[in-house]
Amino acid sequence: MVASKIDGTAIAKTIRAKIAEEIKQKQQSNPRYKPSLTIVQVGDRSDSSTYIRMKLKAAEEANIICNIEHYPEDITEAELLEHITRLNNDPSIHGILVQLPVPKHISEHAVTSQVADDKDVDGFGVANIGELAKRGGKPLFVPCTPKGVMVLLKETGVEIKGKNAVVLGRSDIVGSPVSYLLKNADATVTVCHSRTQGLQEILKQADIVVAAIGKPQFVKGDWLKQGAVVIDVGTNFQPDESKKSGQKLIGDVDFDSAAEVASQITPVPGGVGPMTVAMLMQNVVDSATAYFDKQKSRRINPLPLKLKQPVPSDIDVSRAQHPKLINKVAEEVGIAPYELEPYGAYKGKVDLKLLDRLQHRRNGRYVLVAGITPTPLGEGKSTTTVGLAQALAGRLNRICFANVRQPSQGPTFGIKGGAAGGGYSQVIPMDEFNLHLTGDIHAITAANNLLAAAIETRMFHESTQKDGPLYRRLVPEKKGIRQFAPVMLKRLHKLGIDKTDPNSLSEDEIRRFARLDIDPATLTWRRVLDVNDRHLRGITVGQAATEKGHARETGFDISVASECMAVLALATSLADLRERLGRMVVASSRAGDPVTCDDIGAGGALTALMKDAIKPNLMQTLEGTPVFVHAGPFANISIGASSVLADKLALKLAGTEPDEEVEEHTGFVVTEAGFDFTMGGERFFNIKCRASGLVPDTVVIVATVRALKVHGGGPEISPGAQLPEVYRTENVEILKKGCVNLKKHIENARSFGVPVVVAINKFATDTEAEIQVVREAALAAGAEDAIPANHWAEGGAGAINLAKGVIKSTSLPKPNFKLLYGLEDSIQERIEIIGKRMYGASAVEFSELAQKKVDTYQKQGFGNLPICIAKTQYSLSHDPALKGAPEGFVVPIRDVRMAAGAGYLYALAADIQTIPGLPTAPGYLNVDVDPETGEVQGMF
C-alpha cells in the first residue's frame, strides 16, 4: 500500500482564492472592508525573513493588506510592548503577528500576551489558548498550524469522531493546541513526547498521527498502524549541496517508509506549511469581519428599575441603583478601551480621535428638547431629556445618548438644585454629576482668571516702563539669543509686521508690538468663580500699595458665564478651541482697536488649562443608558446648551455603518436647550447650529399643565410654598387661555422648518380633560403630535409613547429648514428680528450705551456675528410679569457685549445678573457627608 499525498499547497491555494473572493464581495456593500495584517519583526534572522516573505505573498494573493514593522535587535522589551500597544489601538489593523523567535532579552510570553485578544491572529495569547483548552471554550482565534491540521483532515475526508489520535509533541504552538482541537472533534487523544515510554506501541494504535516533535525523520513507517493518516508538522533543515540554499527541509516523519504504511500523509514541504500561512490569512479575515460586525451589533443592556410609590427623593432614587462601570457603558456603544479615560468607576472622558475613526458613519437622528416658558419650579426639560433617552435605548432597543450640560455649583448649593433630571429619569451617580464631575468648570475658572491676571499685569507694566525696557523684558535674551514666543508671531502678523528676528524691529514697530495701550474703561473681562456670591458683583482691585495707584472697579461672574465656557461649548476641535480662545476680545485700545487674548499672549496657556476639558464626559442614566455631560454655558447670557463636540461624538456613536439599514438601526441623540424654546431653542439654531453645521431632525417642546395655567392667569408660584388650589385641581378654562404660550413656542420652532412634538410632562394632579386640552391646542398649532409622558414616576417605561412619536417625527423630511436671520443684516436688524418674530414685540429700543457698543463692534469688524439676547426666562418678553403670549411691547436693550471667541454678540434686555445670589435658606444647609461611608447626604 502506498499512501496518497495530502497536497497542502493546492488546498491552501484554494483557500486563498476563496478569501480573496469573500473580501471582494464584502467590499461591494462596504468599501471600507479592508482586512489588514501587521507583522512585527525584531532583528534580521534569515529564517524569519523567509517566513515573512511567504506571508506577504499569501496576503497579496488573498487581497489582504500586509505591513511589516521592523525593529532592531537591541530594542528593549518596554519599547517593543509600547509599539504593540500602538498597533492594538489602530482600528485599521485587524491582525498583529509577532514573528518568533524574539531576541533572548525579550520575553516571548510578555510580547505575545501584549497583543490584543481581538487581534491575536496567531492565537498564542493567554485568552485564546485558555479558551481553546476549555471544554466548550470559544477562542477568538485558533493557532494557525493546529487550525491548518484540522482543515487538512476535513478537506481530505478524514473521519475524526471516535478515532484514536496521537499527537507527538507538547509545545504550546502546535502539540497542545492540536490535541485540544482533536478532543473537541470527539477523537480519543494521546499526547506523547520524546520521553514517553512505549511510544512505538502507542503509535501502533493510532488512526491519526500528528507529528510535531522537532526531530528529523523521527517516526518510522513500521511504528505506524496500517492505514493511519499522518500529518507531519516537522520543519527540520538538513544539509543538501544540491539546493541553492545548501540545505533542504524535512519533516519529523520518515516519509518514504511511512508512505508504505499510511493511507494518507502530508509531505514536507508542501503539506502543513502552506496551510499555516493560509490559516493566518483566514484568521485576519475573520478578525476584520468580527470588527465590522461589532460596529453594527452595538446594543445597550438596560438596568432594571425598582419603582416605588410615592417616588423617593432624587438622591435616594440615585443611591438605590447600582450603576454599570463606565467602561461597560462605553463598550456597549462601541467606544474602544483606548478611547475612554476613566475618572473613577462611573464617569470618564472620551477621546476626540473617535470622530476620525467614525467619520464614515451616517449620523444618528438629532432631537432637540426645549420647553414652554417655565415657572420658577421648572417644567422638566432635563427629566424629559433623560426619560426619552431611557425609553429609546432601554425600551425600544435603539442606541441613544442624552446630552446635557454640566451643572454649576452655584445652583447646586443655591436654590434650584442640580440638573441631573429627577425621579426615575436622572443621570447617576447624581452627587458626582452635580459636584466636581471631572473638573471641567475648575479648568475654565483657572483659564478665565489667568487671563484676568494677565490683563492686569500687562496694564501695570506698560504704565511703569518705557518702550525699550518693556520690549526687552517681553522678549528677553536667553543664553545670548532673543526669540519671539510662537504666540507673539500672531500679534506681529496682526500688526502687519513680517519680521521674525526680535533685533530687527524698528522703534515704531517695537512700540506698536509692546504697547497694547488698553483703555481701562473698555475692559470687559471679569474674574469668575463657581459660587453664588452676590457681594462680588462689584469690587475694586489694585488697592495694595505695590500696585502704585492702579486701582479700578470690576466684578465677578459665575464660572459658567465665562466666555471660556461658551468657547468650550462651541469649539469643534482642539485646534478650533485654541483659535477661539486666542481671538477673545477683552478690551479696546485707546485708539479703538480690539485687544485679544492672543495680543496679551495667553491663548496657548488657556488652551493648556482646558485641553482635557474639551473631551466630553461619559456618564449614564438610571437605566444604564449613555449620557454625555459637557459644557455648561449660562443659559441667560449664553447659548445654554451642551457642547457641539458631545453632539458630534454622540451622533457618530448612534449612527449607522454604510451597510446598515438606516430606518431600522439608526440611533438618536437627545440634547436640550436651556429655558424655553424662544430663548434656548432660538440660540441653539442660530448660534450652535451655525457653529456645528448640524440640523435637528425634530424639536420636542416640554409642556406642563401647571405652567400653562400660570400663563392663563393663575397666581404666581413661589419655590418652597404650597401650590395654590388652581394648580392642584382641574381648571380647563384657565388652562385653555394659557395654551397661547404653547402655541407661540410651537410656531417659533416650526418657523425653522423642523417638525415639532409636544411632550406633556404629566403630574399626578393632571386630569384627562386637561391633558386633552393641551393635546388639542398643540395639534392645532401645527405639532406633529402631543404625547403625555410619566417618565418622572416610571422611568423609560413612562416615555415609550413619546419615544415612538419622536421616532416617527424624525423620519419626516425637512425641505424648508432655514435660520431666523442672515449675518449680512445689521446688528440692529438681527436683534429686531428676534424680538419681533420670536418674542412678539412691536419694537426694540436701544439705550445710548447699547448703540455706542454696536457702532464700535461694527467699526472693529465684528458686525456679522449671530446674536444672543439675555433676558428673563419667565416670559416671552423681557418682563417676567407678562405671561401667556404678550404682544405690542417694546424690548429695551440696555447693553450689547461681545464674545468674539465664542462667535456671537449678546444683548442685555433689562437687568440680568451674571452671578446669582444665595437665598436665605440655601441648599448647602442640608448637604453633609456620612463619615462612615463617605456618601454625600442631603442633596436634593
What is the C-alpha separation between 566 and 546, in angstroms, rounded? 35
CA torsion, points 367, 443, 410, 581, in degrees to nearest 10?
-60
Please state, in angstroms and as integers, the Cα–Cα distance from residue 392 to each residue in 329, 384, 405, 740, following that order: 16, 12, 20, 30
122 is catalytic: yes
How far does the chain reach from its first CA to its final CA, in angstroms? 88
Residues 6+ apart with CB under 8 A from 652: 354, 355, 358, 359, 361, 363, 364
Please state, in angstroms and as integers, the Cα–Cα distance from residue 475 to each residue in 502, 514, 735, following that order: 7, 9, 69
Catalytic residue among 41, 99, 295, 620: 99
How many residues does this entry show for the chain? 940
Q: What is the CA radius of gyration of the chain?
A: 35
Q: Which amino acid is at 689?
A: C
DSSP tally for the chain: helices H, then strands E: 35, 37
Helical axes 175-184 vs 144-155, angle rounded to 10°: 40
Q: Do residues 301 and 332 make contact, with C-beta atoms less than 8 angstroms apart?
A: yes
Q: Do residues 400 and 521 make contact, with C-beta atoms less than 8 angstroms apart?
A: no
699: number of Cβ within 10 Å: 28
Helical axes 8-29 vs 46-61, angle rounded to 10°: 50
324 is catalytic: no
Catalytic residue among 26, 114, 118, 122: 122
134: number of Cβ within 10 Å: 11
Please state, in angstroms and as integers, the Cα–Cα distance from residue 701 to each residue in 88, 174, 679, following that order: 45, 64, 13
Please state, in angstroms and as integers, the Cα–Cα distance from residue 860 to each residue in 514, 566, 589, 594, 897, following that order: 21, 21, 11, 7, 13
Identify the bridge partners of residue 617 per DSSP, sorted by sequence position.
Answer: 349, 629
φ, ψ for residue 63, nearest 5 deg: 65, 40
What is the C-alpha separation between 85 and 596, in angstroms, rounded? 42
Q: Do residues 323 and 428 make contact, with C-beta atoms less than 8 angstroms apart?
A: yes
55 is catalytic: yes
Sign of CA dihedral 18, 24, 28, 31: positive
Q: Which amino acid is at 292?
A: F
Q: How many CA atoms lie within 13 A of 239 on its CB side?
A: 1
Catalytic residue among 55, 347, 490, 648: 55
What is the C-alpha separation between 926 and 725, in angstroms, rounded? 29
Q: What share of the chain is helix, strand, coil (3-state, %, to 5)?
A: 40, 15, 40
Sign of CA dihedral 845, 849, 855, 858: negative
Identify the bridge partners of residue 341 per DSSP, sorted by sequence position.
Answer: 349
Identify the bridge partners of residue 79 per DSSP, sorted by sequence position.
Answer: none
- Identify the helix (H) or strand (E) that includes residue 388: helix 381-390
Residues 6+ apart with CB under 8 A from 850: 893, 894, 895, 896, 907, 908
Question: Which position has the grid cell 483606548?
Answer: 338
What is the C-alpha separation between 325 and 250, in angstroms, rounded? 54
> Helix (H, G, I), strand (E, B), or coil: what is residue 832?
helix
Residues 6+ apart with CB under 8 A from 803: 388, 391, 392, 395, 396, 796
Alpha helices for 729-799 (secondary structure H): 732-750, 768-780, 791-794
What is the C-alpha separation between 586 and 86, in angstroms, rounded? 42
Residues labelled catalytic: 55, 99, 122
